[in-house]
């Protein structure tokens, strides 16, 4: 990966006595999709709004596209696009007028129609914003963020409130963005979103980064024991000693350090006795399992 | 693009959006005309005395001048302050703030649009007054001074509008707070009610301190032939400038939490 698009060192932010962000380090490479994960109130939005230049910071170093957002906010706004959590656009303008209006703020905007198409609003281009569904308005938000053809995009919980198919669509949009070389800084509390989109994730909890890495290997997820689960058919002989670990619903479960060998032993035993296991399943801990562990299952509060 | 061009571009979009809310736009225009009709009808077609002069003027022409002043105040103060607060609370201002559009260009665009609406209202009031009440219309040098008065008034009240949004906690409270700040002055400053030859001393004092009566008096000069004083415009401009300075310091682009 190339140069750093974002570099943060020792970032702190206090609101009065409350320390919302407690000295975090993170970086995002150019062309990367980086996801900041965390429950509500963990400091995600505070962090991203500092990077966007909306908030001042209490301490630490922040570089976005090589500039300090606290000093060069206007310059930076020419080069990044923003999707914020709760913002609005004028309800009485149409989709196309809205994009035209925003395009005019940039030196080299993307063609309005292309942007509208990219987010799948072509059919709604002459519809007033007030007549769009929630998901469509969110897509319009993304289109606005893309209007200036930015190198870097901030997406703050871009799919909150979407129905499942709208989320899939939004994900495709983000994938399209990375295909055209954009860097994306994403915040989300959806694990599947991070898993699907991000090259790298950081988990923030109570203002601190508690883990950071590619979603597949986050917090040693790839090295955790695999879990093998199965049920015995009715009338099957009892299991050998090593396989006995019944769980609540009548299934058996075992943790395997070497799942290849364990499975071989297990299925060998079954084949010898002409038994077919029911609901045989081998899983690794999901990103969500890791996340719940890292954030202590803390309830969001915001 | 320069800030001026960006501001003018913004006027176009603001204007489009303005007319697409016909209810809001309609009432903005209905208000001054309605008051002009009501006041003239109720208070009759008699004559009234302008404080500090010996001039007796027809009540109807008095109200054409008053409602012209009221038009500018409605468009550039009341409506602008309420509308900007709504946009702030809807997150529209925050969104704009995340783009390279200079904040001054956006606000200038809003102020220019409010001024245009105000001027259009004044023209309608004057035309209506001319047709219905045979009111005199400013011409020549009076017209030029009238134009300057309109612009200084519009800019001044717009500056104050931006300033007051800073103390409006949320959009729901905006109409109440903004109206509370202006309605008493409208009553005490010869907009709604003529003050007669000798207004009470405290009323006179309020009129001298606050900007509304200075504006009304300058408007009267255009329509009623009363003396025009540049000092009235200086007071207006000073208030506007003060408003702008406060707005520059305290104006919020995000909803207040």
- Per-residue pLDDT tens over the stretch B29-81: 888 889 988 888 887 677 887 777 777 888 888 888 999 999 999 999 999 99
Contacts of A93 in chain B (CB under 8 A): 13, 16-17, 20
Q: In the Cβ-directed half-sphere of A142, how many Cα atoms lie within 13 Å? A: 31
Q: How far is CA A175 from the centre of its chain?
A: 12
**Closest chain A C-alpha to B87 CA, distance in angstroms:** 8
SS3 state at A56? coil
Residue of A nearest to B252 (CA): A54
Contact status, residue A96 vs residue A103, Cβ threshold 8 Å: no
Lowest-pLDDT range, A78-82, B56-60, B179-183?
B56-60
Q: With CA atoms as reference, report the closest residue to B72 among B214, B246, B227.
A: B214
Q: Touching check for B13 and chain A: CB below 8 Å?
A: yes
Contact status, residue B207 vs residue B69, Cβ threshold 8 Å: no
For residue A152 the two structure tokens come to 């870097």
pLDDT at A222: 66
DSSP secondary structure code for residue A276 in this structure:
-
Q: In the Cβ-directed half-sphere of A258, how many Cα atoms lie within 13 Å? A: 4
Q: Which band of pLDDT confidence, cut at 50, 70 and 90, is reported for residue A298?
A: low
pLDDT tens digits, one per residue of B101-138 = 998 999 999 999 999 999 999 999 999 888 888 888 88
Cβ contact, residue pair B13, A97, below 8 Å: yes
**Closest chain B C-alpha to A127 CA, distance in angstroms:** 13
pLDDT at B57: 82
Instruction: Give me the CATH code for the A4-220 domain, please.
Output: 3.40.50.300
For residue B110 the two structure tokens come to 């809003």
Q: Touching check for A56 and chain B: CB below 8 Å?
A: no
Cβ neighbors of A270 (< 8 A, separation 6 or more) are A276, A277
For residue B240 the two structure tokens come to 């506007």
**Distance from C-alpha of B61 to C-alpha of B43, rounded to nearest angstrom:** 12
pLDDT at A221: 67
Q: Which band of pLDDT confidence, cut at 50, 70 and 90, is reported for residue A136?
A: confident
More confident residue, A263 or A244: A263
Q: Touching check for A54 and chain B: CB below 8 Å?
A: yes
**Distance from C-alpha of A125 to C-alpha of B46, rounded to nearest angstrom:** 57
Could you count the other beta carbons within 10 Å of the beta carbon of residue A82?
27
Residue of A nearest to B103 (CA): A74
Q: Touching check for A165 and chain B: CB below 8 Å?
A: no
Q: Which band of pLDDT confidence, cut at 50, 70 and 90, is reported for residue A223?
A: low
* Dmax (CA) of chain A: 75
The question of ipTM being above 0.95 is answered as no
Q: Touching check for B140 and chain A: CB below 8 Å?
A: no
Task: Using the predicted structure, report yes or no on whether residue A248 has a pLDDT greater than 70.
Answer: no
Contacts A–B by Cβ distance under 8 A: 63
Task: Using the predicted structure, report yes or no on whether residue A261 has a pLDDT greater than 60.
Answer: yes
pLDDT at A230: 81
Handedness of CA A175, A177, A182, A188 (dihedral sign): negative
Domain boundaries, chain A: 4-220, 225-283
**Distance from C-alpha of A141 to C-alpha of B181, rounded to nearest angstrom:** 36
pLDDT at A218: 73
pLDDT at A1: 42
Counted residue by residue, chain A has a size of: 302
Q: Above pLDDT 90, what percent of chain A?
A: 22
Question: How does the average pLDDT of chain B come out, rounded?
Answer: 90
Q: Where are the beta strands (DSSP E) in A72-128?
A: 80-83
More confident residue, A268 or B16: B16
Residue of B nearest to A69 (CA): B98
**For chain B, how are helix, strand and coil distributed in percent, rounded to 5?**
75, 0, 20
Output phi, psi for B14, to 5 deg.
-60, -40
Q: Touching check for B137 and chain A: CB below 8 Å?
A: no
**Distance from C-alpha of B257 to C-alpha of B254, rounded to nearest angstrom:** 9
**Distance from C-alpha of B81 to C-alpha of B120, rounded to nearest angstrom:** 19
Q: Where are the beta strands (DSSP E) in chain A?
A: 4-15, 18-29, 33-37, 59-64, 80-83, 152-156, 183-188, 200-205, 208-213, 226-231, 252-256, 278-283
DSSP secondary structure code for residue A219 in this structure:
G
Please state the rounded mean pLDDT for residues A278-298: 74
Cβ contact, residue pair B99, A88, below 8 Å: no
Q: Which band of pLDDT confidence, cut at 50, 70 and 90, is reported for residue A178?
A: confident
For residue B109 the two structure tokens come to 């665009």
**Distance from C-alpha of A145 to C-alpha of B147, rounded to nearest angstrom:** 41
Q: Which band of pLDDT confidence, cut at 50, 70 and 90, is reported for residue B95?
A: very high
Please state the rounded mean pLDDT for residues B174-191: 93
pLDDT tens digits, one per residue of B134-151 = 888 888 888 999 999 999
Strands A80-83 and A33-37: unpaired
Task: Using the predicted structure, report yes or no on whether residue A302 has a pLDDT greater than 50.
Answer: no
Q: With CA atoms as reference, report the closest residue to B67 among B142, B161, B130.
A: B130
**Closest chain B C-alpha to A83 CA, distance in angstroms:** 8
Task: Using the predicted structure, report yes or no on whether residue A2 has a pLDDT greater than 80.
Answer: no
Cβ contact, residue pair B100, A148, below 8 Å: yes
Contact status, residue B252 vs residue B165, Cβ threshold 8 Å: yes
Output phi, psi for A222, to 5 deg.
-70, -20
Of B92, B97, B100, the CB nearest to A88: B92
Please state the rounded mean pLDDT for residues A64-71: 89
Contact status, residue B256 vs residue B250, Cβ threshold 8 Å: no
**Distance from C-alpha of A136 to C-alpha of A165, rounded to nearest angstrom:** 12
Lowest-pLDDT range, A248-257, B7-16, B82-91?
A248-257
């Amino acid at each position: 990966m190339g140069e750093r698009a974002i570099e943060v060192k020792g970032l702190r932010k206090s609101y009065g006595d409350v320390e919302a962000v407690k000295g975090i380090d993170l970086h995002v490479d150019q062309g990367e999709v980086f996801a900041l994960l965390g429950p509500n109130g963990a400091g995600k939005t505070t962090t991203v709004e500092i990077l966007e230049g909306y908030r001042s910071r209490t301490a630490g170093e922040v570089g976005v596209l090589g500039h300090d957002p606290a000093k060069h906010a206007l310059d930076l706004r020419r080069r990044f696009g923003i999707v914020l959590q709760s913002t609005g656009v004028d309800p009485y303008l149409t989709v196309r007028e809205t994009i035209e209006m925003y395009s005019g703020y940039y030196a080299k905007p993307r063609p309005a129609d292309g942007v509208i198409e990219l987010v799948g609003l072509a059919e709604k281009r002459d519809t007033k914003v007030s007549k769009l569904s929630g998901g469509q308005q969110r897509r319009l938000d993304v289109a606005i963020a893309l209007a200036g053809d930015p190198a870097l995009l901030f997406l703050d919980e871009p799919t909150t409130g979407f129905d499942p198919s709208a989320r899939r669509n939004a994900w495709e949009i983000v994938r399209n963005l990375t295909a055209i070389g954009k860097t994306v800084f994403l915040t989300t509390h959806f694990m599947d979103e991070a898993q699907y989109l991000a090259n790298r994730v950081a988990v923030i909890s109570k203002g601190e980064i508690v883990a950071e890495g590619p979603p597949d290997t986050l917090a040693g997820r790839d090295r955790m024991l695999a879990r093998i689960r199965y049920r015995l058919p009715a009338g099957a002989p009892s299991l050998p000693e090593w396989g006995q670990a019944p769980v609540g619903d009548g299934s058996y479960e075992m943790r395997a350090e070497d799942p290849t060998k364990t499975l071989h032993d297990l299925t060998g035993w079954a084949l010898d006795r002409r038994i077919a296991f029911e609901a045989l399943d081998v899983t690794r801990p999901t990103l969500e399992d890791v996340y719940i562990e890292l954030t202590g299952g803390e309830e969001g509060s915001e | 693009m320069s800030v001026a061009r960006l501001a003018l571009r913004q006027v176009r979009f603001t204007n489009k959006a303005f007319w697409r809310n016909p209810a809001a736009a309609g009432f903005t225009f209905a208000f001054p005309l309605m008051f002009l009709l009501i006041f003239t009808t109720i208070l009759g077609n008699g004559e009234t005395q302008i404080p500090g002069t010996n001039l007796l003027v027809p009540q109807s022409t008095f109200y054409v001048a008053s409602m012209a002043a009221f038009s500018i105040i409605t468009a550039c103060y009341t409506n602008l302050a309420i509308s900007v607060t709504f946009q702030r609370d809807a997150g529209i201002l925050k969104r704009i703030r995340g783009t390279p559009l200079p904040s001054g260009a956006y606000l200038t665009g809003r102020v220019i649009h409010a001024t245009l609406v105000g001027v259009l209202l004044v023209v309608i009031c004057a035309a209506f007054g001319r047709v219905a009440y045979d009111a005199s219309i400013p011409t020549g040098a009076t017209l030029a001074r009238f134009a300057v008065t309109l612009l200084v008034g519009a800019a001044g009240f717009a500056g104050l509008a931006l300033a007051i949004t800073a103390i409006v906690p949320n959009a729901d409270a905006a109409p109440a707070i903004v109206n509370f700040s202006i309605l008493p002055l409208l009553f005490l400053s010869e907009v709604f009610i003529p003050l007669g030859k000798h207004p009470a001393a405290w009323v006179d004092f309020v009129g001298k301190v606050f900007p509304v009566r200075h504006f009304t008096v300058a408007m009267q000069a255009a329509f009623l032939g009363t003396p025009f004083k540049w000092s009235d415009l200086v007071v207006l401009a000073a208030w506007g400038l003060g408003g702008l300075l406060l707005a520059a310091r305290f104006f919020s682009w995000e909803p207040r939490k």
